Chains A and B, each alone.
Chain A
Amino acid sequence: MSGRGKSDLAEVPALRLRSLRRAAWISDEVLLLALSPRLGVSGADSSRERPVRRPRQVEAKVFAAPSGSIVAASPAGALDRAQRLRLVDAGRTEVLAVEAKEITHALTDLRTFLREGPAVWDAATRTALLDFLASLGSEHGLSASLSDGLCQVREALRERPPVTVEDRRIGRGITVERLHRIDARSFYVRGRAWDDVAPIAKLTATSPEGERVELLDRVFRHPSLEAGFVGLFQIASPTRAVDGWVMETASDPGRAVEAMASLAPDPLSTIFADADLEFDGVETLRERHLRPAISRLAELRRAGTDIVELESYGRAQASPAMSLVVPLQRRIDLIEHQLAQFAADPEFGECELLYVLDEPGQGETLKEVAGELFRLYGLPFRIAALTEAAGMPIACNLAAHLARAGRLVLLDGDVLPDRPGWIGAMAAALDASPEIGAVTPKLLFADEAIDQAGLEYSTAEESAGLSIRHRLRGMHRGVPAAAEGATVAAAGVACLMIDADDFQAAGGLRSEYGLGAYEGSDLSRRLAELGREVRYVPEAELYRLKGLGAAPEAFGERYARWLHFRTWGGHPGAGAGP
C-alpha cells in the first residue's frame, strides 16, 4: 500500500483501506483480492461505511485463512474508478465495501500478488487455497483465460515432492501411462505407483487448474501392470488444460513423489484395451469404470455430432421403395466398387443410395470424385457427412433420418452383392409376415465360405462362455443348411433390411459397443422386445470383404460381449431381460 497518494486515502474509510492489501486479475473476468487478516471475512463492518453513492453489488467467494483472506469476484467488465463496490458472499453477507479506484490502486500482477501473500503460507493452507481457486471454474465458467490463470497459481503455490525417476528399480515412484479426458470433469487414468518400503497411503491427481482429488480408493488395481492402477475419476471443477496434470503418491508424510502427465488422445483405445482384459474382478472394473466412461464418450459423441447432406448426384427417385444407407468408414474408394455392381442391378431404379461419410476430413476428396463417378456410372446417389468422426452406429442413426424411403438397408461399404436380385429377395422376406422385423442375407467371404447366415447364441456349455456366433461360418456357401430360410436369434448390420419405423421404434443402433460389432445383436434384441423377429434370407448373397480394412477391427470385442450379455442376459429364449 505504500505506493498510494494521500488524496486517494482520504476518500476511503481507514478501516477499509487496511482491509484491502493487494488485488490481481487471475483471468480476464475474475479478480482476486487479498484482505488483511485483522478483518477477516466476518469482520467486515458495513455500518461504519459512509456510502458516497449506491454501491454496485458483486458476488464474491471468500477463502479465509489465518494469514489473510482471498476474495474472488467477477465484477463483469472494466472497473469504473468512480464506482463503489459492495462484495457479498453467497449468503448476501457483505465481505467488503470498497471504492473501485482503491482496487485499481491495489492491483498488481498475479505473480506478485501470490508472492506477497499466499506463497508464504503453510502447505496445508496453500493446498486448501488451490482447491478453493480451482472451484472458480465452476462458479464463473472455465474460460481459457481463467484456466491459464489457475495453472499459474497452482504452479506458484503447490507443494513439490520429488519427481519420479522412471525406473522401476528405484524403490518409490509413480508413472502415468495414459491420462484421457472423458468430459470436462471425468478422466481415465492408467499408471503405476509403487513404494517398496511402505504401503501406498495416497494417490492424488492434481488438475492443471489446481484441484486435487484422491484416487486411492477410487481407482482399480490394474491386473497386467506391476503396481498398476487404472480407473475413472471425477473432479469437482472443470479443467481445460491438456498439459500440467500432476500425479502424486505418498506412503507416509514426507515420502511422496510425483509425475507430470498430459492428456492423451483417443481414450477409447486405452479403455477398450483395458476392457478386453480378463481377470478376477474385471466385472467391477467394467461396471464401475469402463462402462461409465464408454457410455459418457458415446453420449458426448451423439450430442456433438450432426449430419449434413453434402451433395446429391443425379435425380433420385422422389419416393423410393428402399433407402440404402452406407456408412463409409474411411474407405471412400469402395464407393466405386459398389457402384460398379449396383449400376447393373435393375432393382436400384426403385432405391435411393445414401453414402454417409463419418470422417469429415475426407469430404472434399469425396466431393471431387463423386461427381465423376456419377457421370461414369449414371446411378444417382447422395452423400451426407457427419460433423464429427462419430462411428458407424451414429452415422446410421443420423442417416436414417435423411432417408426418404420407409424401408432401410444398412449396408457396409465393404459389402458387394454377388448378383442382382438380393434387394427383392430380402424385401419379399420382410413382407412375408408382420412378425418379421428385419432380414439378413447370406454374407460370404472372398473364398466362397459363409461369413454369416444370421447370428446365433451359444451357451456357456457350448463354448468358453456366453457368446454370439455367426451361423454356418466357414461352411461353403452351397451347403444345404445355408439354403434354408430361417428365423435367427440376431443379425449383424453389415447388411440388414428393416422398416424405418421399426428402426426408430427400437431406438436405432446403440453406440456404446465401441468397435465390437454387437450393434446388430443389440438391435435384434430390442426388436424382439417389440415382438418382431429376424429372418435369414438365403437367396440374397453378398460378399463381405472385411480384409479390405474398411471396417475397424473388432477391438474391444470382450467388452462388447460383456456389455451385451450384461444388458440382455443370455439367449433370447432363456427369458433373461435387460
Chain B
Amino acid sequence: MTEHRVLQICHNHPRVRPGGAEVYAHELHRHLRDHGDWEPTFLARSGPPQSPGGAPHEGTPISPLEGTDDEYLLYPEGYDFDWMFGTMRQDKRLYTEELRRFLLTLRPDVVHFQHTLFIGYDAIRETRRTLPDVPIVYTLHEFLPICHNKGQMVRTTDRSLCTEASPRRCGECFPDIAPDEFLLRKRFVQANLDLVDLFVAPSATLLERFVEWGIPRDRILLEDYGRVRAPVAGDSARPAPHDTLGVFGQLNPYKGIDVLLRAIRALAERAPRLRVHGANLDLQEHSFRDEVTSLLEDTEDKVSNLGPYPPERAGEMMAAVDWVVVPSIWWENSPLVIQEAFAQRRPVICSDIGGMAEKVTDGVNGLLFRVGDVESLAATIRRAVATEGLWERLRDGIPAVHSMSEHAAVLTEAYERLIAQRTAAAIA
C-alpha cells in the first residue's frame, strides 16, 4: 500500500500551551507517525497570544519544532487576526504566500484542520486553491464557527446557555456590533467551510448544532476523540472514604470553576477536599481572575490550588482523587477530562448538558447536576461523598475509553475514502 501524507493544522501546540483539542490532535499525530501507513505532519500556530516568542527565522513564519522533523510552528507575526470573521483581515499573504509554499512543498494527500482559530478560515480556501484535488477534513471542537462568544454558545448577557445563533440574538450579545454583521460572519465562515469534504464531530450535541446551522448531515462524521493512554493505568482503586474531588483543565468563565468553589463554600465544614489542577487563569479577564482568587481564599481550608499539570501526568493526578468534577456552564463538546477520568476509573460529577451529559450517564458512571446551579452541585457532592457504596458502583459502570488506535482507524479509513472520491472526481 502506498504511504499517504496527512497534514494536520492546529491553532496551538501542546508544548507551547496545554489545551484539550491540541493535546488530542498532537496525540493523533504521534499515533499516526508511530503506527500504520500514514506519514503525518503537524503544523501548529504559535506566537502571541499563546506564547511570547516570535518566529526564529527571518523571512519565514514557519519553522520546525525543536527535536522533531514532522512538526512545525507557524508564527503569524504582523498579521491582524479578526476575531469576528476568523481571518487575517488586512493581509492575506500568510495564506497566499506562506501557507501555499508550505503546502506545495509537503504536498499532503489529506489536509486535516484541527482548528483555524488565530490562523483563519482562509487557510481552508488556500488549501483548496493550492491543492484542488486533496480532501480537506475539519474537526469541530466547539461552536466557534457559529458563536462569536468564543464558540461557547453562552449568552454574554447573563451567561445563560444559547441554542441558536441569529443576527438578532448575536446582536443582543454584542450590542456594539450591527446584527447584519453576524449574517455577514455566518456567510463568510460557511463559504469557507463549504470547501471542507468531511467534518468530524466528537459528540452528537455538536453534530446536531452544526446540522441546524447549515452543514449537511452527510458531511459530518460522528467520531469521539481517541486517547492514547491505556484505559486502566493499573488499578487505582482507593479505599473509602471517597471524599476527595478533583477539577482539571482550563480555568475560564465557561468551565464553571466559580460554580464549584461556591458549592464548596456553601458546604462549609461538610465540604470534601478539592484539588484544583487548573491552567490559564492568567489569560482571563481581571474580573474573573479576581472572582476566582477570592473564592479560593474563602475556601482555602478545603481547596488546594495546584496549578497546571503536564498532559502526560493527568492520569497520575486523577488517581489521587475520588471524583472528577466537570462543572462547565457551556455545552462542552466531548471533554477529554471525562475520558481521562474514565481511563483512571474515576466517576465524574458534571453539568447535565451537552457533551457532558452525553458522555456521563447519571447514576451509572457518574452524577449529573443542574448546570450552573450551586445548590444542585453542593447537594450532588454531598450525595457522592456520603452515600456508601456509590463510588464503587459508579466505578463499575465506567465504560472503556475510545482508544487512539480505534479512532485513528476510523479517521484513516475516512481519509482513504475521501482520496478515492477526489481521485475519481478528478479523473471524471
| Residues of chain A whose beta carbon lies under 8 Å from any beta carbon of chain B | 333, 336-337, 340-341, 343-344, 369, 372-373, 375-378, 414, 416, 446-447, 543, 545-549
Give me 9 A-to-B residue pairs in the complex whose CB atoms sit less than 8 angstroms apart, sorted by A's number: A337-B188, A344-B191, A375-B129, A376-B95, A416-B183, A416-B187, A547-B179, A548-B180, A548-B181
Going nearest first, the 10 A-B pairs with the smallest beta carbon separation are A547-B180, A372-B92, A446-B183, A340-B191, A545-B180, A446-B167, A375-B96, A547-B178, A446-B180, A376-B92
Given A447-B166, A447-B167, residue A373 in contact with residue B92 (CB < 8 A):
yes
| 7 additional contacts (CB under 8 A) given A375-B96, A548-B180 | A336-B188, A369-B91, A376-B92, A446-B182, A543-B187, A547-B178, A548-B181
- In the bound complex, residues from chain A placing their C-beta under 8 Å from that of B87 are 336
In chain B, positions 154-190 with a C-beta closer than 8 Å to chain A are 166-168, 178-184, 187-188
- The CA of A218 and the CA of B167, in the complex, are separated in Å by 51
- The answer to whether B412 has its CB under 8 Å from any CB of chain A is no
- The CA of A479 and the CA of B4, in the complex, are separated in Å by 51
Given A344-B191, A369-B90, A446-B182, residue A376 in contact with residue B166 (CB < 8 A):
no
Given A340-B192, A344-B191, A369-B92, residue A549 in contact with residue B178 (CB < 8 A):
yes
The listed residue (B91, B180, B182, B187) touching A546 by CB distance below 8 A is: B180
Given A333-B89, A376-B92, A376-B129, residue A416 in contact with residue B184 (CB < 8 A):
yes
Given A446-B183, A545-B184, residue A376 in contact with residue B96 (CB < 8 A):
yes
Cβ-closest chain B residue relative to A334: B184
**B92, A543: Cβ atoms closer than 8 Å:** no
Cβ-closest chain A residue relative to B90: A369
- In the bound complex, residues from chain B placing their C-beta under 8 Å from that of A343 are 191
- The CA of A373 and the CA of B182, in the complex, are separated in Å by 21
Contact with A along B64-107 (1 / 0, CB 8 A): 00000000000000000000000101111101100000000000
- In the bound complex, residues from chain B placing their C-beta under 8 Å from that of A547 are 178-181
- In the bound complex, residues from chain A placing their C-beta under 8 Å from that of B178 are 547-549
Nearest Cβ in chain A — how far from B17, in angstroms? 29
- The number of residues on chain B lying at the interface, defined by a beta carbon within 8 Å of a beta carbon of chain A, is 27
- The answer to whether B224 has its CB under 8 Å from any CB of chain A is no
- In the bound complex, residues from chain A placing their C-beta under 8 Å from that of B89 are 333
- In the bound complex, residues from chain A placing their C-beta under 8 Å from that of B167 are 446-447
In chain B, positions 386-410 with a C-beta closer than 8 Å to chain A are none
- In the bound complex, residues from chain A placing their C-beta under 8 Å from that of B109 are none
The listed residue (B96, B179, B188, B191) touching A446 by CB distance below 8 A is: B179
- The CA of A395 and the CA of B244, in the complex, are separated in Å by 72
- In the bound complex, residues from chain B placing their C-beta under 8 Å from that of A337 are 184, 187-188
- The CA of A546 and the CA of B184, in the complex, are separated in Å by 11
- The answer to whether B122 has its CB under 8 Å from any CB of chain A is yes
**A376, B184: Cβ atoms closer than 8 Å:** no
- The CA of A344 and the CA of B191, in the complex, are separated in Å by 8
The listed residue (A333, A344, A447, A545) touching B194 by CB distance below 8 A is: A344
| Residues of chain B whose beta carbon lies under 8 Å from any beta carbon of chain A | 87, 89-93, 95-96, 122, 125-126, 129, 166-168, 178-184, 187-188, 191-192, 194
- In the bound complex, residues from chain A placing their C-beta under 8 Å from that of B184 are 337, 416, 545, 548
Main secondary structure of the interface of A (DSSP, over half): helix
- In the bound complex, residues from chain A placing their C-beta under 8 Å from that of B90 are 369
Cβ-closest chain A residue relative to B93: A372
The listed residue (A375, A376, A545) touching B183 by CB distance below 8 A is: A545
Cβ-closest chain B residue relative to A378: B129
Cβ-closest chain B residue relative to A550: B180
**A372, B129: Cβ atoms closer than 8 Å:** no
- The CA of A323 and the CA of B211, in the complex, are separated in Å by 36
**B125, A377: Cβ atoms closer than 8 Å:** yes
**B181, A376: Cβ atoms closer than 8 Å:** no
The listed residue (B126, B166, B180, B188) touching A340 by CB distance below 8 A is: B188
- The CA of A547 and the CA of B179, in the complex, are separated in Å by 7
- In the bound complex, residues from chain B placing their C-beta under 8 Å from that of A447 are 166-168, 179
**A376, B188: Cβ atoms closer than 8 Å:** no
- In the bound complex, residues from chain B placing their C-beta under 8 Å from that of A333 are 89
Cβ-closest chain A residue relative to B180: A547
**B183, A372: Cβ atoms closer than 8 Å:** no
The listed residue (B92, B168, B180, B181) touching A375 by CB distance below 8 A is: B92
Nearest Cβ in chain B — how far from A186, in angstroms? 38
- In the bound complex, residues from chain A placing their C-beta under 8 Å from that of B129 are 375-378
- The CA of A340 and the CA of B121, in the complex, are separated in Å by 11
Nearest Cβ in chain B — how far from A368, in angstroms? 8
- In the bound complex, residues from chain A placing their C-beta under 8 Å from that of B180 are 414, 446, 545-548
The listed residue (A344, A372, A548) touching B96 by CB distance below 8 A is: A372
- In the bound complex, residues from chain B placing their C-beta under 8 Å from that of A373 are 92
- In the bound complex, residues from chain B placing their C-beta under 8 Å from that of A376 are 92, 95-96, 122, 125-126, 129
Cβ-closest chain A residue relative to B94: A372
- In the bound complex, residues from chain B placing their C-beta under 8 Å from that of A372 are 91-93, 96
The listed residue (B125, B183, B191) touching A543 by CB distance below 8 A is: B183
Nearest Cβ in chain A — how far from B22, in angstroms? 26
Cβ-closest chain A residue relative to B189: A340
- The CA of A344 and the CA of B166, in the complex, are separated in Å by 23
Nearest Cβ in chain A — how far from B66, in angstroms? 31
Q: Which of B89, B95, B167 has the most CB of A within 10 A?
A: B167
- The CA of A337 and the CA of B125, in the complex, are separated in Å by 13
- The CA of A533 and the CA of B182, in the complex, are separated in Å by 36
- The CA of A343 and the CA of B179, in the complex, are separated in Å by 25
**B187, A340: Cβ atoms closer than 8 Å:** yes
Given A376-B95, A376-B96, residue A341 in contact with residue B179 (CB < 8 A):
no
- In the bound complex, residues from chain B placing their C-beta under 8 Å from that of A416 are 183-184, 187
Cβ-closest chain B residue relative to A549: B178
- In the bound complex, residues from chain A placing their C-beta under 8 Å from that of B122 are 376
Cβ-closest chain A residue relative to B168: A447
- The CA of A446 and the CA of B185, in the complex, are separated in Å by 11
- The CA of A562 and the CA of B27, in the complex, are separated in Å by 70
- In the bound complex, residues from chain B placing their C-beta under 8 Å from that of A375 are 92, 96, 129
Nearest Cβ in chain B — how far from A414, in angstroms? 8
- The CA of A337 and the CA of B92, in the complex, are separated in Å by 14
Cβ-closest chain B residue relative to A340: B191
Cβ-closest chain B residue relative to A333: B89
Nearest Cβ in chain A — how far from B167, in angstroms? 4
- In the bound complex, residues from chain A placing their C-beta under 8 Å from that of B91 are 369, 372
- The CA of A373 and the CA of B187, in the complex, are separated in Å by 17
Q: Which of A341, A372, A373 has the most CB of B within 10 A?
A: A372
Nearest Cβ in chain A — how far from B215, in angstroms? 15
- The CA of A378 and the CA of B187, in the complex, are separated in Å by 18
- In the bound complex, residues from chain B placing their C-beta under 8 Å from that of A340 are 187-188, 191-192
